Amino acid sequence: MQDEAWNGEACHRCGNDMRPEDRYCHRCGVERTYAPASRPVIAKSAAAAVILSIMLPGLGHLYAEDRGTGIMLILATVALTVLGLLLLVPLAVLLVVWLWAMLDAARATERFHARG
Ligand SMILES: [Zn+2]
C-alpha cells in the first residue's frame, strides 16, 4: 500500500473524498504517504542554506530537508573536530616543549661552561 500515494482531494483507489488531515482513506484504508495538503510549503532560500552551512556543515542540508546528507555532514564535522583536537593538543604540547628546548639550549651551554 505504501507505494500508492496521492496528494489530491480524493482517494486514487476508490475515489473517496479526503480531508487534508486524513492519513488513511476512510473507505478503503489505503495510507496516504504524502504530507497533508494543509501543511504549509515554505520556500527554501539558497542563501539561508549557505549561511547555515557556514555556521555548521550540514545545517544547510537539514534546512533544505536533505536529512541524510545533513546528519552525515554534522557527524563528519564532529568526528573531524574531535580528531583535530586529539592531534592538535599533542602538537601544541610539542611546540611548547620545542620552544623550551630552544630557550634552555642556550642556558645548557652556560651550565656546561660553569662545570668547567
Ligand atoms: Zn480509498
pLDDT in tens, 30-78: 887 665 555 666 778 888 898 999 888 999 999 988 999 999 999 988 8
For the chain, the structural domain boundaries read 1-41, 46-115
**Cell numbers representing residue 1 in the block:** 500500500
Closest by Cα among 52, 71, 54, 78 to 63: 52
Reply yes or no on whether the pLDDT at 1 is more than 50: no
Measure 3 CA to ligand 1 centroid, in angstroms: 14
Cα 25 to ligand 1 centroid, rounded to whole Å? 5
Query: Residue 103 above 90 pLDDT?
Result: no
Compute the half-sphere exposure of residue 62: CA atoms within 13 Å on the CB side of its CA: 14
Return the C-alpha cell found at 74: 554534522
Q: Give this prediction's pTM.
A: 0.45
Q: 44: helix, coil or strand? A: coil
Cα distances (Å, whole numbers) of residue 9 to 15, 20, 34: 9, 7, 12
Enumerate residues with CB within 5 Å of ligand 1 (an ion).
11, 13-14, 16, 25, 27-28
Higher-confidence position of 44 and 116: 44
